[in-house]
Amino acid sequence: MKMRFLDASSDGFKKDLEHLLSWDADDDVSILDTVDNIIGNIQSRGDEALFSFTQQFDHWDISTDNCLVENEALHSAWLSLATEQAEALQLAAERIRHYAKHQLLTPWSFTDELGNTLGQKITPLSSVGVYVPGGKAAYPSSVLMNIIPAKVAGVSQITMVSPTPNGEDNPMVLAAAWLAGADKVFRVGGAQAIAALAYGTESIEPVDKIVGPGNIFVATAKKKVFGKVGIDMVAGPSEILIICDGDTNPDWIAMDLFSQAEHDENAQSVLISPDQSFLDKVEASINQLIDDMERKAVITASLQKRGAFIKVDSLDQAIDVVNVIAPEHLELSVADAQKWASKVEHAGAIFMGRYTPEALGDYCAGPNHVLPTSGTARFSSPLGVYDFQKRSSIIDCTKEGASVLAGYASILAEGEALTAHAQSANYRKLN
């Protein structure tokens, strides 16, 4: 396989990089029309539409009797796991929970010079819908990453939805749902599941917020229902960007690139290095290792379609490129990774040094693997406990404090021609 090579110092690099990063699948009119149709049908026909779309897309006979996974089935899935699988899920869950507890927002207040008490109240969301993909692969890790922070935040009702193609449950997904503490699990997926969570059906109660990654139809549906419910983010294809100074084993780097490329054909794997000979070595490693990959076809398509090697003049220039791309996953496979991390402005998650592959973050390091994609790390953050907590302002004025503030408030209100506001404030003035 011949990798695409870009040179950060070339005159056409900016244009070449823009082309590499372009992702416009959500502009596909047919996708938008399909999602609009699905959402409209769920709103008007409820379960009837939900089951019909599930039969159409997932090819099995779903009904009111079998759409909900009973708690006994979740528990049974957990008990049936091989010991090593149960231990791995348990360890991952414990580490995710431990990390999440450090993210808890806490209430605070202070008293100002007028004697007024001002502060912030923290309240967990009442209900959350968690989407877990189940098409090309099953993701028990996503179950843990989405549900555990919600539980730590104190969400009282967590509804999980996940497609079951051909009606076949994935035991590890169900076991993870049991371990994480899902309140209800439904065997539905796709845009129809997102619509059901947003608007409700006879079987599925509407939620306040929907989280979790999915395909382009799921992502588009989340965009469409935003406003009716909250969403975490609109996730695009998975991405990894690796900066390497040339001193890491090239086989390691090749496999790290594979780890994202195997997600799907639109995933993006990019390597940046100032060492041209190292880039050549990694290309050789790719060609040597690719034949042994179970998902060779997907990896190959991904690397050829959206993969790239970028030659830079220095690591400083590499960081400049990183801050333009704002990658979902950033590996700093370099000496003194702390130094270079301090220069990174935009990245979903940063993996430090030669011994921290992105794969550890996907499963059991502790930080959340639901991350901003497609450059959105410029303004958004990984999923966390704070996504499941609300902040309410607290304003408690004394008689004297209200009187002082009323004088200023009435002036500002009159400046906006809102005389009722001004009068409301003036009623609190002491004469």
- The answer to whether 198 and 206 are in contact (CB under 8 A) is yes
Three-state SS string over 259-326 comes to HHHCCCCCCEEEEEECCHHHHHHHHHHHHHHHHHCCCHHHHHHHHHHHCEEEECCCHHHHHHHHHHHC
Task: Give the single-character DSSP code of 385.
Answer: G
Which of 383, 424, 373 shows the shortest CA–CA distance to 402?
Answer: 424
- The answer to whether 322 and 347 are in contact (CB under 8 A) is yes
Count other Cβ atoms within 10 Å, centred on residue 283: 18
User: What is the spatial distance between Cα 118 and Cα 242, in angstroms, rounded to a whole number?
Assistant: 46
* Residues marked as catalytic: 328-329
User: What is the spatial distance between Cα 114 and Cα 400, in angstroms, rounded to a whole number?
Assistant: 7
User: How many whole angstroms from its chain centre is CA 338?
Assistant: 25
Residue 164 token pair:
């079951």
Q: Which residues have CB under 8 Å from 218's CB, separation 6+?
A: 131, 133, 189, 190, 191, 193, 194
Burial class (CB within 10 angstroms; exposed 0-12, middle 13-18, buried 19+) of 32: middle
The H or E element containing residue 92 is helix 83-101
- The answer to whether 195 and 225 are in contact (CB under 8 A) is yes
